[in-house]
Structure 1
């Protein structure tokens, strides 16, 4: 646990008592704060009270006497589409609102660091797609190279549940737009921006607000190095804002699919090969084609981002390349579940939006595509250029009929459920084809989250092997 600094003898309110909220309350208490807490769910409040937390109804005016800050969990709206009533109350009273990310960045460094030979560092990764894989890959590379490292944030361990730093450690954080938008402190040593595509627009008041939430990690964080994907206009804009000029190598530009000329420092992938250029000269290269844990152009972008971040903390190209080969990938992200009768079964349940699904579709040929769920604004028309790879689509969930109307002449069948989709796709797939779960939709119509959806697909595939 990382005790929160600067809160001794203060009364701090915590809103939301899920994983991050409970960890935040414990870290505040460890820092000497008097913690009061609230959650909209009665069962959650009762469980927290049973564990010793002081539950106070923050919807009541009298609850705010002496409160110096409100710490909100990331899933709770603080601005759009409208602030949660408790957060609105804090605004009206002039009580500062923060989250666990802000507390982490103000508390991670301690006087103990004065005795370290090498100061700990923080790499923070954000973006629309690929940030989980990029975060896990950076963490894996550091482990393989013998560097002390921890991983947390939006993946794995909550930030305040991480252990205090040790000499030379590198903490790797995945940060969502919900987390970067509200944090009052953002000071990573290396910040990574993978890419941007429309997502969470209701929460951020549109695409501009969504990008602004990501941009805060760079504009307010002031990282020593910024690794920025420049395959979209927003990335180009951000890189331009962060650089003082074309010779400024504090920005490492990355791309999947285009050669980057003229940048002081760049890492890009083309035709399966990663190349690093610095000050006009090639500094490293990696053949990505045979790396099983990083299939497809979207994973090659993740590889470029991770490679660049690791180079920024001093690792050598050959160290990074060796670690690539032992990376197994993450569950639910282009995860090879099984090969049965010459047919591959791939779980990309994390492909919850059109851009992520497009990247998954581009990674394979001869696809039996399982798609659908709770569709997002804008539909899936943008996937039409990639559907020539699809032998047949098997449509499930709430948006199955809407998807059927949008995919044109692509062979398809509305099957409603995952059970029927896997069974039918398996019966029709031919050797050399891939049964791909890439839903292009949220999971909440049939599953509590994308992980449960992917786990159901995986279990159904494993059951095929026993039939």
Structure 2
């Protein structure tokens, strides 16, 4: 673990004892802090107390005697729609509030680095969609190229559970808006912004607050290199704020349209090809069309962002190209499960909003689409321009009937359950078609999270190939 610095002999409160909260407690204790903790779940509190952790109800005045810092888990609201009562106590008392990401950035560098030949570096990746794939791909490329790299944050391990840095090590972090919004220290060497689309708006008080949370990754510490997706206006605004002019190659722009040669450094995805541009000249190109782990234009954009991050770290184009060819993709993110009778089955359970679902719908030509769950504001009305490839939709979950009303002339049925949707799609699909799970909705009506939803879909698909299913 990474012991937290500057907390020795201080009393630190920890709110939330999930994965990151438990790692935070251990790292604080290793740094010499006295820890008191609280979790809203009685079951979690009982387990923590059995482990010897000191508990104190942080919603009450008596718990705050001597507390000099509150560390909160990212899922707990600290501003909108209203601060958690314990955080409200800290704000009222002037007690600093931080999270594990902030503690990591202030504790990762140590005096041991003076003996390293190469200083460790941190790549931090944020954005609405594609950040998990971009993070995993960046990590994969670094490992394949022989670099010492670890992956953590919103994917993989909690940041404070990492081992102390090694000579030349690279940490690749996926950071959500919940994590960047509150961290008191954010100092990556390379920061990546994939894109922005409406999400978590209640938590951030609207789209401006959501963008501001992402922007903090670039504004708080000033990375040496910034990789910025500029297909949306927010990305163009961010790149404009960071660069001294179009020729400033400290900002690497990632785009799918426009003129990459106009910038000092740019990486472009167009018609299945990645191209790198430096000072008005194309210097490298990669054919992404046959990389099975990166299907569709949206994944080609993710590939561009990972490519740019790795180039910023000094990797050569040929190293990156070789590594990309072996990338298998992530579970639940355009995950190719295989073919049955000439029909492809793809699990994109992570497509929990219309923007990510739209990208999935554009990745395949003939789609049997499984959608539905706990729909978000606006439903799927915004997907109307992307339904041309849908042969038929199979709607499940709480919002199935609402979604049906927004499909217009697109053939559809209300299947209600994943079992029915998979069975009906399997019976009706023809060779050359793709059965795609891209729900455009949250999972909480039928599943605890999108991973369990995707796992259920994958298990049902696997059963289609079993001897019992064939018989």
Residues 147-158 of structure 1: pairs in structure 2 closer than 5 A: 147-158=147-158
Contact 1:122–1:189 (Cα < 8 Å) also in 2: yes
Contact 2:261–2:279 (Cα < 8 Å) also in 1: no
Look up the match of 1:283. 283
SS at match of 1:49: helix
Look up the match of 1:72. 72
Contact 1:258–1:270 (Cα < 8 Å) also in 2: no
The answer to whether structure 1 residue 244 and structure 2 residue 244 are counterparts is yes
- With 55-64 and 13-22 compared, the bigger mean Cα shift is at 55-64
Contact 2:252–2:308 (Cα < 8 Å) also in 1: yes
For 1:261 and 1:402, the matched residues in 2 are separated by 45
**1:311-359 deviations in whole A, cap 9, x for unaligned?**
0000000000000001000000000112000000000000000000000
For 1:246 and 1:254, the matched residues in 2 are separated by 13
**Displacement, 1:62?**
1.3
Look up the match of 1:46. 46
Look up the match of 1:459. 459
For 2:75 and 2:248, the matched residues in 1 are separated by 37
SS at match of 1:55: coil
**1:39-74 deviations in whole A, cap 9, x for unaligned?**
000000001111121111111211101100000000
For 2:258 and 2:169, the matched residues in 1 are separated by 34
Look up the match of 1:430. 430
Look up the match of 2:327. 327
**Displacement, 1:258?**
4.3
Contact 1:259–1:269 (Cα < 8 Å) also in 2: no
Contact 1:259–1:268 (Cα < 8 Å) also in 2: no
Contact 1:256–1:298 (Cα < 8 Å) also in 2: no
Look up the match of 1:413. 413
Contact 1:393–1:412 (Cα < 8 Å) also in 2: yes
- With 275-284 and 210-219 compared, the bigger mean Cα shift is at 275-284
Look up the match of 1:233. 233
Residues 177-326 of structure 1: pairs in structure 2 closer than 5 A: 177-326=177-326
For 2:52 and 2:171, the matched residues in 1 are separated by 30
**Displacement, 1:260?**
2.0
Contact 1:258–1:268 (Cα < 8 Å) also in 2: no
For 1:261 and 1:426, the matched residues in 2 are separated by 47
For 1:182 and 1:358, the matched residues in 2 are separated by 30
Contact 2:81–2:205 (Cα < 8 Å) also in 1: yes
SS at match of 1:319: helix
Contact 1:259–1:270 (Cα < 8 Å) also in 2: no
- With 35-44 and 278-287 compared, the bigger mean Cα shift is at 278-287
SS at match of 1:308: helix
For 1:96 and 1:211, the matched residues in 2 are separated by 23
SS at match of 1:178: helix
**Displacement, 1:259?**
4.2
SS at match of 1:261: helix
Look up the match of 1:113. 113
Contact 1:367–1:389 (Cα < 8 Å) also in 2: yes
For 2:103 and 2:185, the matched residues in 1 are separated by 7
**Displacement, 1:121?**
0.2
SS at match of 1:388: coil
SS at match of 2:178: helix
For 1:281 and 1:401, the matched residues in 2 are separated by 52
Q: For the aligned residues, what is the CA RMSD?
A: 0.7
For 2:14 and 2:170, the matched residues in 1 are separated by 28
Residues 16-55 of structure 1: pairs in structure 2 closer than 5 A: 16-55=16-55
Look up the match of 2:12. 12
TM-score, length-scaled by structure 1 = 0.99
- Aligned residues, how many? 467
For 2:397 and 2:334, the matched residues in 1 are separated by 21
For 1:78 and 1:98, the matched residues in 2 are separated by 10
